[in-house]
Structure 1
Amino acid sequence: MVYSKAMEDEFVVVRSYYEFVDYININGLPDFISFDNDLGLEENGELAPDGYAAAKWLVYHSGLDLIELKFNVHSANPVAAQQINGLLTNYINYLKDNRE
C-alpha cells in the first residue's frame, strides 16, 4: 500500500529494523504499524534485517502485550507479506484465545 505524502505527518516512519526496535523500546507500542518487508542493504552491502525480522522481534523478544495491535502489511513481496501477516495474526489470536 502506498500512503500519500499528506499522510506522512500522521506516521512516524522508520526505515530499518534497528530504527523500529529503538523506536518501540523508547516510545512503546504505537497505535498502528504498517509493515514493509524488503528494507534494503546494510552499509557493508549485506542484506538488512527485514520486516519479518521486525515482526518476529515484536512476538518473541519485545515482551509487549500485542493483543490490541493494529497492523497492516504493505510489502510488495507476497511471500514475506504472508509470513508477517500470518505470524502476527496467529500470535494475536493465540493471545485472545488464552486470556485469563
Structure 2
Amino acid sequence: MEMTKRLLFLDDIRYPIEAYHYTRQDIFLRQDWYIVRNYEQFVNRILENGLPEIISFDHDLGDEHDLKPDAQDFVEKTGYDCAKWIVEYCLDNHLDLPKFYCHSMNPVGKENIEGLLKNFKKLKK
C-alpha cells in the first residue's frame, strides 16, 4: 500500500523544487509532496485523504484569476479561495489548521492568504 503523502503543494505550474530556489525553505526539498493544480483538486484531495501535515499555497492558479464581470462562471479560483475553503473545513469539522507556507510570487495574494490563515490560527487559540 502506498503511503499517503502528507504534504500538499498547491500550484498550477511549479514543482516544490522550484519554490525552494526562490524561498530557500528546506521543506521544499522533501520528496513527499502531493501536488494539486487547482481548487477542485485541492478540495478533493483533502476530502478523500484528510488534512495534510503541511499545505503550501500559490495564489494565482491559471490565467483567469481576475474577475471578469461578463464571465463570472469561468473565473479560475485562486489559492485564496483554497485558503478560505480550508478554514471553513476546519471550522465545520472542529480541526486545527495544518502548518502552512505560501510560496506565491504574487505579493498581495501571498499577504491575503497568510493574513487569513494567521488570523484563523489566532482565533482558534
Question: Which residue does 1:16 correspond to in 2?
Answer: 38
* Deviation of the 1:32 alpha carbon: 0.3
Residue number among 96, 106, 119 corresponding to 1:66 in the alignment? 96
Note the aligned Cα RMSD (angstroms): 2.6
Q: Is this contact kept in 1: 2:16–2:33, CA < 8 A?
A: no
Query: Aligned letter for 2:48?
Result: I
Task: Give the TM-score, by structure 1 length.
Answer: 0.80
Deviations 1:12-55 (A, max 9, x none): 0000000000000010000000000101047xxx4310100000
Following superposition of structure 1 onto structure 2, how do residues 35-74 of structure 1 map, counting pairs within 5 Å?
A: 35-41=57-63, 46-61=74-89, 63-64=92-93, 65-67=95-97, 69-74=98-103
Indicate the SS of the match to 1:40: coil
Task: Give the TM-score, by structure 2 length.
Answer: 0.65
Higher strand proportion:
2
1:3 equivalent in alignment to 2:32: no
1:25 equivalent in alignment to 2:33: no
Structure 1's consecutive aligned runs of 4 or more residues displaced over 2 angstroms after TM superposition are 5-9, 60-64
Query: Aligned letter for 2:87?
Result: V
Indicate the SS of the match to 2:56: strand
Distance 1:80 1:47 in 2: 16
Unaligned runs of 5+ in 1: none
Query: Aligned letter for 2:78?
Result: D
Query: Aligned letter for 2:120?
Result: Y
Indicate the SS of the match to 1:9: coil
Provide the identity percentage: 41
Aligned residue pairs: how many?
93
Unaligned runs of 5+ in 2: 1-14, 19-27, 65-73
Indicate the SS of the match to 2:52: coil
